[in-house]
């Protein structure tokens, strides 16, 4: 299977399909055109504009007012990557690194980052060959994006750092030699484009959502089995009583439980008790609220992974280069806290059912 990076909306389900089917990646003609158009615009802008452009013709952070001569621009970008590749802690799981590569490629494909086509293609080469840069779990706090993890992700493009291939960690230079690839010579802005962004956070978020969606489905199946084992009443799962409250997740959960218990002789047998404990009777309300939360978080994370998140952001058609803060992790952090609460509630109500059983 091949997945073509284009302007098509990338859903969590599509990402899961790409991973599960070990799909290879390629750029659509549209994406190639966007990338090349933006790079041409940036090169022409640097030739014609005398005013400084942050991170492109200037230093970074507190050195934003220091101009850099043309001969030093490539070295500046390389130094930026090397100086931020200071991750610590455990190595990030291969699945997360694959997601980081996929999401960084997607982000750079929109033509708002100013990177060379060769740089994006090399990221694709790494993904398709399953050559995974060694990335560490600690080092960035998200306020300036994922600087340290993305620096470690980007080092191997330059023939630096380490990669994992066939289960073994080897120097990136050795992997490039084995594949016959030359290190990328970064042009202006490219170090910033690679390091700025939220692909480390987003990769964890996407991975968590894939698991959360699966856990939510399994929670309903397990709850239906538990209700039957408890000789519980199905009245609380009727369509009318759940639809009157008008929460989508609640209505969906009640319908799912009814479907699972269809044909159950235990469920159809007359009951002596009037109502069940909360942990059974409130399955639609609790599981439903978790579903609604997962859906909300899914929407926010899909917005994120379908966006360019580096800085500055370049708009060739409008002749604008804007230094802003689209790398900030808050739009991911708050929804992920919400997701953690929802999943904890699924576990909580399940534990109470176990107690009753």
Of the chain, the end-to-end C-alpha distance in Å amounts to 46
Lookup result for tokens 């098509």 = 8
Residues 15 and 143 in one domain: yes
- Cβ atoms within 10 Å, residue 166: 7
Instruction: Summarize pLDDT for 265-305 with one digit per residue, the tens.
Output: 999 999 999 999 999 999 999 999 999 999 999 999 999 99
Cis peptide before 244 (omega within 30 of 0): no
Residues 263 and 135 in one domain: no
162 backbone dihedrals φ, ψ, rounded to 5° = -130, 160
CA separation, residue 314 to residues 102, 169, 294 (Å): 21, 36, 33
Instruction: Summarize pLDDT for 3-31 with one digit per residue, the tens.
Output: 999 889 999 999 999 999 999 999 999 99
Q: What is the pTM of this model?
A: 0.94
CA–CA separation, 74 and 77 (whole Å): 5
Residues 63 and 167 in one domain: yes
- Structure tokens given for 300: 């926010």
Q: Which of 207, 218, 212 is nearest to 350 (CA)?
A: 218
Q: Provide the domain limits for residue 146.
A: 2-197
Total domain count, the chain: 2
Last residue of a domain, one of 171, 197, 223: 197
Whether 282 is covered by a domain: the verdict is: yes
Q: Residue 336 in contact with residue 205, Cβ under 8 Å?
A: yes
Instruction: Summarize pLDDT for 338-348 with one digit per residue, the tens.
Output: 999 999 999 99
Residues 193 and 212 in one domain: no
- Structure tokens given for 222: 């397990």
Instruction: Summarize pLDDT for 180-239 with one digit per residue, the tens.
Output: 999 999 998 999 999 999 999 999 999 999 999 999 999 999 999 999 999 999 999 999
Q: Which of 41, 54, 127, 260 is catalytic?
A: 54
Whether 54 is a known active-site residue: answer yes
Residues 26 and 58 in one domain: yes
Lookup result for tokens 């220091």 = 66
CA–CA separation, 113 and 217 (whole Å): 38
Confidence at residue 74, expressed as pLDDT on a 0 to 100 scale: 82
Residues 213 and 351 in one domain: yes
Q: Which of 244, 311, 293 is nearest to 54 (CA)?
A: 311
Averaged pLDDT score across all residues of the chain:
94
Residues 211 and 193 in one domain: no
Find the Cα–Cα–Cα–Cα dihedral 122, 6, 112, 298, rounded to 10°: -100
Whether 173 is covered by a domain: the verdict is: yes
| Residues 320, 322, 325: CA angle, nearest 5 degrees | 155
Whether 202 is covered by a domain: the verdict is: no
Instruction: Provide CB contacts within 8 A for 108, sequence distance 6+.
Output: 35, 115, 119, 120, 123, 193, 308, 310
Residues 182 and 114 in one domain: yes
Whether 149 is covered by a domain: the verdict is: yes
Residues 7 and 42 in one domain: yes
Here the CATH number for the domain that contains residue 104 is 1.10.275.10
Cis peptide before 167 (omega within 30 of 0): no
């Amino acid at each position: 299977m091949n997945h073509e990076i284009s302007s098509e909306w990338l859903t969590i389900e599509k990402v899961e399909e790409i991973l599960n089917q070990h799909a290879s990646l390629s750029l659509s003609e549209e994406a190639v055109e966007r990338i090349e158009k933006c790079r041409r615009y940036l090169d022409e802008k640097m030739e014609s504009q005398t005013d400084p452009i942050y991170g492109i013709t200037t230093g970074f952070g507190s050195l934003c007012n220091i101009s850099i001569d043309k001969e030093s621009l490539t070295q500046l970008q390389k130094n930026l990557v090397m100086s931020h590749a200071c991750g610590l802690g455990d190595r990030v799981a291969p699945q997360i690194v694959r997601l980081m590569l996929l999401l960084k490629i997607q982000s750079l494909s929109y033509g708002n980052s100013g990177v060379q086509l060769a740089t994006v293609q090399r990221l694709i080469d790494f993904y398709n060959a399953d050559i995974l840069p060694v990335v560490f779990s600690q080092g960035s706090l998200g306020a300036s994006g994922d600087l340290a993890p993305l620096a470690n992700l980007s080092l191997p493009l330059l023939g630096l750092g380490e990669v994992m291939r066939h289960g073994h960690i080897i120097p990136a230079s050795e992997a490039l030699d084995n594949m016959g690839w030359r290190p990328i010579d970064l042009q202006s802005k490219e170090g910033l484009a690679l390091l700025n962004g939220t692909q480390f956070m987003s990769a964890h978020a996407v991975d968590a959502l894939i698991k959360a969606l699966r856990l939510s489905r399994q929670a309903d199946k397990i709850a239906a089995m538990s209700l039957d084992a408890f000789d519980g009443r199905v009245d609380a799962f009727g369509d009318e009583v759940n639809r009157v409250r008008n929460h989508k997740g609640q209505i969906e959960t009640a319908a799912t439980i009814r479907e699972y218990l269809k044909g159950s002789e235990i469920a159809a047998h007359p009951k002596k008790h009037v109502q069940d404990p909360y942990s059974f009777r409130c399955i639609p309300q609790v599981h439903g609220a978790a579903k609604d939360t997962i859906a909300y978080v899914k929407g926010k994370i899909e917005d994120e992974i379908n966006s360019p998140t580096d800085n500055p952001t370049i708009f060739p058609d409008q002749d604008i280069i804007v230094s802003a803060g689209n790398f900030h992790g808050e739009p991911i952090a708050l929804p992920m806290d919400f997701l953690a609460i929802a999943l904890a509630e699924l576990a909580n109500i399940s534990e109470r059912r176990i107690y009753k059983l």
